[in-house]
Chain A
């Protein structure tokens, strides 16, 4: 019953946000702010995540395929395609669920329990357009960019790890990567990151916007926001793979 009520609230919030898309002057300032916070400020952790994902995947794939049955460049094929299709989007999604999702729900939750949102409403501001919409927008638009950075660095990390560890030279790695490089995979990855951006920001906004019960309530809202974001990222990942592959 509670879940059904929450689904209704969530849908209503999204509807309100969508309805106020035209009020650009209300959220313009916040939108650019969120672009910077979600996109620009997440680049360091995305660089780290992308590079290490590719590097670790290379070492472990080489360890698993340590027979003479396969040519060495297969490692490159596996790493490049895995990073492009799955890992760059999902792992950065899970990391950003912690970084971005927690920040959004805490911000909105604190504003809710300190009655700042009520104050905005009483001043005649559309609080959804002012607070929720720019965050969701920023998430949806910035996540694909972060995905591009993560996947590129994942492949670079794989090349470097493979060459540094003596598994296979960079040229072999790229030969393998090119063998199974399909532009559709990149489109698929970008679509995934779109969806993950929407899932993380909308769930976090929803949990923060409807937080109640003081500091403890904000903590609960943040916990739920990150946990639910992670769960729905994995769910969305599965659904997308089942539908589109």
Chain B
């Protein structure tokens, strides 16, 4: 048997391991059960009619601050309620008349016990019993408030009934039933429309038939003359192409014309000079005047001009 460094005997080592395990297990248990490791918890007792979802280890709070946890629960058939042992770790005492309220915050939250304090200066000793109440959260609120709501609803419904009666009497005061009348006239209209449709059924039918015939004819026509329509379209296409070349040629012509007109404007070339120079006109004008004079003179005295004009000489 080899000796260890610290010269511990086997028995010592075993004892050490066992004691360490026991201590670890004890402390671990206390911690996991939320009990103070080395001091005794202070206890309070309470009881609830229902403890839905409450488990040992659930927290005990004052104004949301954790002061302990649920230690034990036991149902007693005699009182038809569950006695709860609350382990309190808080340093302060709890005033007399405080209540323990079982709280269910919501569908997913854990159940907690809230201690509702009073302002009493007297404190309750540890180990005594405090009154337990249930605050069921949203669902409980619905079921308790529900009664009040139902009462109010009943009143409202009675009032509504009265109101309906008044409306009734005012509507029916002249001995007629207006709603019935309205419905009757609606019915009559419906019947009329139906009769109309029945009467003109043949017309409507033939209309639909002829409409479908027309549509069919159009269809056939377009089907049968497909080739012609095609050629028509081709020639239209050709025509439009020719038009395009034509318009191009016209464009060119217009451009040259523009050029020529520009030159005329500028006064270059024969036409330009003719247009822009007044001298030709003046000459022509004076010529025509002189010709006029000449003709006058000839009429006045033809011999003067014609004396040398001999027929023989002319021909």
Chain A residues proximal to chain B, CB less than 8 Å: 32-33, 35-36, 39-40, 43, 80, 142, 144-145, 148-149, 151-152, 155, 174, 177-179, 181, 183, 186
Q: Would you call B29 and A186 a contact (CB within 8 A)?
A: yes
B21 at the A interface (CB under 8 A):
yes
| Partner pick for B14 among A35, A177, A178, A186, CB 8 A cutoff | A35
Given contacts A33-B1, A179-B57, contact A152 B28 (CB under 8 A): yes
Q: In the assembled complex, how far is the CB of residue A148 from the closest CB belonging to chain B, in whole angstroms?
A: 5
**B24 on interface, CB distance cutoff 8 Å:** yes
Q: Mark B8-25, 1 if CB is under 8 A from A, else 0.
A: 001101101110110011
Interchain CB contact under 8 A, A178 and B57: yes
- Can you name the residue of chain B whose Cβ is closest to the Cβ of A70? B108
A181 to B35, CA, bound (A): 13
The residue in chain B whose Cβ has the minimal distance to the Cβ of A155 is B28
Q: Does B311 contact A (CB under 8 A)?
A: no
CA distance A221 to B32 in the complex (A): 43
The smallest beta-carbon distance between A158 and chain B, in angstroms, is 13
* Interface pair A178/B33, CB less than 8 Å apart: yes
* Closest chain B residue to A37, Cβ basis: B10
Taking a contact as CB atoms under 8 Å apart, the answer to whether B10 and A32 are in contact is yes
* A101–B44 CA distance with the chains assembled, in angstroms: 52
> Do B10 and A148 touch (CB < 8 A)?
no
Report the separation of the CA atoms of residues A32 and B69 in the bound assembly, to the nearest whole angstrom: 43
User: Which residue from chain A places its CB closest to the CB of B34 in the assembled complex?
Assistant: A178
C-alpha spacing A65/B10, complex, angstroms: 47
B17 x A33 contact (CB < 8 A): no
Write out the residue numbers on chain B whose beta carbons fall within 8 Å of the beta carbon of A174: 31
Size bracket, chain B contacts: 20 to 34
Interface status of B110 (Cβ within 8 A of chain A)? yes
B125-150 CB contact bits vs A (8 Å, 1 = yes)?
00000000000000000000000000
With A145-B18, A155-B28 as known contacts, state yes or no: A36 contacts B34, CB within 8 Å.
no
Measured between beta carbons, the chain A residues less than 8 angstroms from B16 are 40
Known: A33-B1, A152-B24, A155-B28. A39 touches B14 (CB 8 A): yes
Q: Which one, B17, B29, B69, contacts A40 given CB within 8 A?
A: B17
**Among candidates B11, B25, B29, B32, residue contacting A177 with C-beta atoms closer than 8 Å:** B32
**CA separation between A103 and B18, bound complex, in Å?**
22
- B residues less than 8 Å from A35 (CB atoms): 10, 13-14, 17
CA distance A183 to B1 in the complex (A): 40
Q: For the complex, give the distance between the alpha carbons of A142 and B16 in Å.
A: 12
Distance (whole angstroms) from the CB of A110 to the closest CB of chain B = 17
Specify the chain A residue showing the minimal Cβ separation from B59: A175
Known: A43-B17, A179-B57. 20 other contacts (CB 8 A): A35-B13, A35-B14, A36-B13, A36-B14, A40-B14, A40-B17, A80-B32, A144-B21, A145-B17, A148-B21, A148-B24, A149-B20, A149-B21, A152-B24, A152-B25, A155-B28, A174-B31, A179-B110, A181-B57, A186-B25
Q: In the complex, A20 Cα to B7 Cα: how many Å?
A: 32
Identify the closest chain A residue to B14 (Cβ).
Answer: A35
Query: Closest residue to A73 on the B side, CB-wise?
Result: B110
Question: What residues of A have a CB within 8 angstroms of the CB of B34 in the complex?
Answer: 178
Q: Chain A contacts of B32 at CB under 8 A?
A: 80, 177-178, 181
**8 closest Cβ contacts across the A-B interface?**
A145-B21, A181-B32, A32-B10, A40-B13, A35-B14, A148-B21, A148-B25, A152-B28
CA A33 to CA B1, docked complex, whole Å: 8
Residue of B whose beta carbon sits closest to that of A146:
B21
Instruction: Tell me, in angstroms, the Cα distance from A186 to B33 when the chains sit together.
Output: 12
User: Which B72-129 residues have a C-beta within 8 angstroms of A?
Assistant: 110
For residue B93, give the distance in angstroms from its CB to the closest CB of chain A: 25
A144 CA to B25 CA, complexed, in Å? 11
Q: Which of B13, B24, B29 contacts A149 (CB 8 A)?
A: B24
Which of B14, B25, B33 interacts with A32 by CB under 8 Å?
Answer: B14
Contacts of B11 in A (CB 8 A): 32
Q: Which residue of B lies closest to A147 (CB)?
A: B21
Most buried by B among A35, A80, A142, A144: A35
In the bound assembly, the distance between CA atoms of A63 and B10 in angstroms comes to: 45
9 chain-A/chain-B pairs, Cβ below 8 angstroms: A32-B11, A36-B10, A36-B14, A39-B17, A43-B17, A80-B32, A177-B32, A178-B57, A186-B25
B109 shortest CB reach to chain A, Å: 9
Which residue of the partner chain A has the closest CB to B18? A145
List, in ascending order, chain B residues with CB within 8 A of A36's CB.
10, 13-14
Q: Beyond A40-B17, A148-B21, A178-B34, is A33–B28 a contact (Cβ under 8 Å)?
A: no
Q: Tell me the bound Cα distance from A221 to B238 in angstroms.
A: 103
Instruction: List, in ascending order, chain B residues with CB within 8 A of A155's CB.
Output: 28
A145 to B28, CA, bound (A): 13
A32 to B17, CA, bound (A): 12
- Please indicate the chain B residues that have their CB under 8 angstroms from the CB of A142 in the complex: 17
Residues of B close to A39: CB separation below 8 A:
14, 17
Bound together, the chains give a CA A41 to CA B175 distance in angstroms of: 108
Is A33 in contact with B18, judged by CB distance below 8 angstroms? no
Chain B residues with CB under 8 A of A179: 57, 110
Interchain nearest-CB distance for B59 vs A (Å): 8
